[in-house]
C-alpha cells in the first residue's frame, strides 16, 4: 500500500518512522519547524513537501506521487479539497479526543481542564469541516488525577501507530467501515495561546488544579501576576491551612516553607514554581 503522510513535530515523527518500517511511504508533508521529520525524510530519501500546502501547492506536489491512503498525524495545516480527494482510497486523520466531543485544537488539554476522566484517539476521514469526518476507529484513554497534558501526549504516542496500523490493515483487507458523527453531540474548543493560561483565583481549587496540570511543562504554563511579575506554576497541592472566607481570593496566606494561596473553597500550596529563580515572595 502506498501511503502519504501529513505529519508535524514529535507525534508526527514517531508515526512516520513506524509507518515507514511497515508500509511504502510515497511522500511526506510537513512544516518548516519540524526539523527532525525533514532530516528523517532526507536520510531515507522520502519525497517531502515543506510548508503550507494551501493554494493547491500541496496538490501540485502530490500529483507527482501515487498515494492510495493519505494519513494526517499532528499536522499543523488544514488541507484543501483537491488534496483530500487525491488519494485513490481515502484520507484520514488522528484526532486526540473521542469525537464528536472536543473537536478543535489541543483537545486533551481542554479535557483535563474540564475534569474529564477519559479522553481518546479517533481515526476519522477528513472532509471540509473541522474534525467532522466519519469515524473509522476510536480508542479510549484514561485521564488519571495527576496526569498533565504532557502525560496524555505520552499515552497518545504509544497508541498512535497501532491505531494507524489497524486502519491501514482494514483498508488492505477491504474491511473499512465508516460511521457518521452525531453532530448533535459535538463540542468544539478553540486554539489556545500562552496568554490564555492566566489563573482566575475565583475558581474552585479543583478547577485551578486542573488548569495548572493541563498546561504544565513543557506547555507554556498556568500563571498569575504578583508584584508585577509573572509567576508560572506547574504543580499545586490542596492545603488544610486556615483562612477567612471574607478575604479576597488569591490572597497570599503564607510564603514559607511553601507559598499558600486562598481560593473560594480551600487553600492551595504552590509545589512547583517554574521560574523559581525569581524571588517573588521574599
CA 244 to chain centre: 39
Say whether pLDDT at 98 is over 80. Answer: yes
| Average pLDDT estimate for 106-129 | 96
pLDDT given for residue 4 in this prediction: 98
pLDDT given for residue 278 in this prediction: 61
Given a contact cutoff of 8 angstroms between Cβ atoms, the answer to whether 69 and 89 are in contact is yes
Q: Where are the beta strands (DSSP E) in 143-251?
A: 188-189, 222-226, 229-239
Q: Quickly state the pLDDT bin for 119 (edges 50, 70, 90).
A: very high
Q: Quickly state the pLDDT bin for 227 (edges 50, 70, 90).
A: confident
| Average pLDDT estimate for 2-17 | 96
Query: What contacts 134, CB < 8 A, 6 or more positions away?
Result: 124, 125, 127, 178, 179, 180, 181
Q: Which H or E element spans position 20?
A: helix 9-22
User: Do residues 224 and 251 both lie within one domain?
Assistant: yes
User: Do residues 90 and 199 both lie within one domain?
Assistant: no
Given a contact cutoff of 8 angstroms between Cβ atoms, the answer to whether 168 and 1 are in contact is yes
Whole-model pTM: value is 0.92
User: Do residues 112 and 227 both lie within one domain?
Assistant: no
Structural domain ending residue among the three candidates 189, 215, 248: 189
Question: What would the pLDDT profile of 128-184 be if each residue is shown by its tens digit?
Answer: 889 999 999 999 999 999 999 999 999 999 999 999 999 999 999 999 999 999 999
Neighbours of 198 (CB within 10 A): 12
Say whether pLDDT at 277 is over 90. Answer: no
User: Do residues 177 and 209 both lie within one domain?
Assistant: no
Quickly tell me which residue has 473537536 as its cell. Answer: 103
| Average pLDDT estimate for 23-35 | 97
Q: In what order do the strands lie in the sheet with 222-226?
A: 222-226, 229-239, 266-273, 259-263, 252-254
Structural domain ending residue among the three candidates 126, 160, 189: 189
| Average pLDDT estimate for 37-47 | 98
Amino acid at each position: 500500500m502506498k501511503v502519504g503522510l501529513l505529519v508535524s513535530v514529535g507525534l508526527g515523527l514517531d508515526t512516520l518512522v513506524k509507518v515507514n518500517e511497515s508500509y511504502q511511504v510515497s511522500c511526506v508533508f510537513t512544516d518548516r519547524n519540524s526539523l527532525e521529520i525533514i532530516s528523517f525524510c532526507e536520510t531515507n530519501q522520502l519525497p517531502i513537501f515543506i510548508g503550507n500546502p494551501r493554494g493547491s501547492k500541496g496538490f501540485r506536489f502530490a500529483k507527482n506521487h501515487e498515494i492510495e491512503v493519505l494519513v494526517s498525524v499532528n499536522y499543523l495545516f488544514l488541507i484543501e479539497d483537491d488534496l483530500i480527494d487525491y488519494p485513490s482510497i481515502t484520507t484520514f486523520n488522528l484526532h486526540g479526543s473521542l469525537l464528536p466531543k472536543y473537536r478543535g485544537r489541543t483537545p486533551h488539554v481542554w479535557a483535563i481542564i474540564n475534569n474529564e476522566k477519559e479522553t481518546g484517539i479517533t481515526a476519522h476521514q477528513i472532509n471540509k469541516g473541522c474534525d467532522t469526518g466519519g469515524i473509522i476507529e476510536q480508542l479510549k484513554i484514561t485521564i488519571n488525577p495527576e496526569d498533565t497534558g504532557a502525560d496524555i501526549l505520552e499515552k497518545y504516542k504509544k497508541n498512535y501507530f497501532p491505531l494507524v496500523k489497524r486502519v491501514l490493515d482494514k483498508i488492505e483487507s477491504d474491511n473499512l467501515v465508516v460511521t457518521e458523527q452525531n453532530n448533535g453531540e459535538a463540542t468544539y474548543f478553540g486554539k489556545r495561546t500562552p496568554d490564555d493560561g492566566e489563573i482566575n483565583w475565583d475558581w474552585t481549587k479543583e478547577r485551578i488544579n486542573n488548569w495548572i496540570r493541563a498546561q504544565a511543562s513543557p506547555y507554556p504554563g498556568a500563571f498569575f501576576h504578583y508584584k508585577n511579575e509573572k509567576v508560572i506554576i506547574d504543580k499545586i497541592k490542596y492545603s488544610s491551612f486556615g483562612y477567612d472566607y471574607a478575604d479576597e481570593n488569591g490572597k497570599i496566606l503564607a510564603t514559607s516553607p511553601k507559598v499558600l494561596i486562598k481560593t473560594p473553597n480551600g487553600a492551595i500550596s504552590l509545589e512547583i514554581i517554574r521560574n523559581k529563580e525569581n524571588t517573588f515572595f521574599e
